[in-house]
């Protein structure tokens, strides 16, 4: 029966610490921007263009006829 009370006390401490962490994050503005992530997919990313490389080593295979 004593272990039961110890487990309840520990669970209340853990729940309280999560509540304090949540309240701290709300106070510091972690959840302020809720509009930008929902429309971020609508913005186009810039497509990188591949650089044209000059092939100076042209190896051609010649077949014997």
At 1 the pLDDT is 87
Task: For 3-62, write each residue's pLDDT tens digit.
Answer: 999 999 999 999 999 999 999 999 998 888 777 777 877 877 777 777 776 666 656 666
At 13 the pLDDT is 98
Residue 38 to residue 9: CA distance in whole angstroms: 40
**H-assigned helices in the chain:** 2-27, 36-39
Domain-wise residue ranges, the chain? 1-30
């Amino acid at each position: 029966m004593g272990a039961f009370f110890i487990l309840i006390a520990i669970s209340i401490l853990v729940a309280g610490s999560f509540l304090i962490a949540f309240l701290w994050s709300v106070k510091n503005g972690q959840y302020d921007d809720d509009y930008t992530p929902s429309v971020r997919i609508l913005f186009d990313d810039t497509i990188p263009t591949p650089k044209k490389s000059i092939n100076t080593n042209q190896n051609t295979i010649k077949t014997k006829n």
